[in-house]
Amino acid sequence: MTALLRGGAQVNARGPMQSTPLHYAASQGHWETVKSLLQNDVSRASVDERTSSGNTILHIAADCNRVDLVSRIFEELNVPRDSVIRAGETALHKAAAGGYVAVIDELLHGGVDVKKRNHSGQTARMVAERESHYGCVAKLLREG
């Protein structure tokens, strides 16, 4: 990774759906790569970069069931907890749609707003109900 960066690799190059290397690393749960892209001395990726649909690395980690990455993002990076994508969804909505109870647990522990609604007026609990993810529903009911 370091050799590529020193060689001039474009850390904010865009691929399909306007995804950057940072987004791809987050989707695969590669924390060390995420950290290298954000902290290298040559050219730094921006934690605020978004895909064409508005996903941040937190949305992507939640959507891909990367609980360990969600935890590290909260511990080590300054990212907005409740940022929304174009549909108004937070990372909590993404985790609820996927049925990822452990990710929901980590997001709640990180202080996301359980009452935040998407552009359709749905909370994450409502999204979990719609998708029949009852473990998520139970977790979200206890929190909000």
More confident residue, 8 or 105: 105
Measure the CA–CA gap between 139 and 144, rounded to whole angstroms.
9
Residues 79, 56 contacting (CB under 8 angstroms): yes
More confident residue, 10 or 52: 52
For the purposes of burial, counting CB atoms within 10 Å of the CB of 27, is it exposed (0-12), middle (13-18) or buried (19 or more)? middle
The model's pTM: 0.86
Alpha helical stretches, state H, 47-123: 57-63, 67-76, 91-98, 101-109
**pLDDT per residue as tens digits for the range 63-89:** 999 999 999 999 998 888 889 998 999
**How many folded domains does the chain comprise?**
1
pLDDT of residue 118: 97
pLDDT exceeds 80 at position 125: yes
pLDDT exceeds 70 at position 3: no
For the purposes of burial, counting CB atoms within 10 Å of the CB of 123, is it exposed (0-12), middle (13-18) or buried (19 or more)? buried
- Report percent pLDDT > 70 for the chain: 86
pLDDT of residue 48: 83
Mean pLDDT to the nearest integer, 103-117: 96
Whose tokens are 């009852």? That residue is 134
CATH code, 16: 1.25.40.20
pLDDT of residue 143: 84
**pLDDT per residue as tens digits for the range 39-70:** 876 667 778 888 888 999 999 999 999 999 99
